[in-house]
Amino acid sequence: MGLSYSGEVALVTGGAAGIGRATALAFAEAGLKVVVSDLDSAGGEATVGLIQAAGGEAVFVPCDVTRDAEVQALMQQTIAAFGRLDYAFNNAGIEIEQGKLADGNESEFDAIMNVNVKGVWLCMKHQLPLLLAQGAGAIVNTASVAGLGAAPKMSIYSASKHAVIGLTKSAAVEYAKKKIRVNAVCPAVIDTDMFRRAYEADPRKAEFAAAMHPVGRIGRVEEIAAAVMYLCSDEAAFTTGHALAVDGGATAI
Taking the C-alpha atoms of 10, 228, 191 and 67 in order, what is their torsion angle to the nearest 10 degrees? 50
Cβ-contact 103, 154 below 8 angstroms: no
Tell me the residue ranges of DSSP E strands in 33-128: 33-38, 58-62, 87-90
Length of the chain: 253
* 5 C-beta neighbours (distance < 10 Å), count: 9
Q: Which residues does the annotation mark as catalytic?
A: 157
SS3 170: helix
Tell me the residue ranges of DSSP E strands in 150-218: 180-187
Cβ-contact 147, 112 below 8 angstroms: no
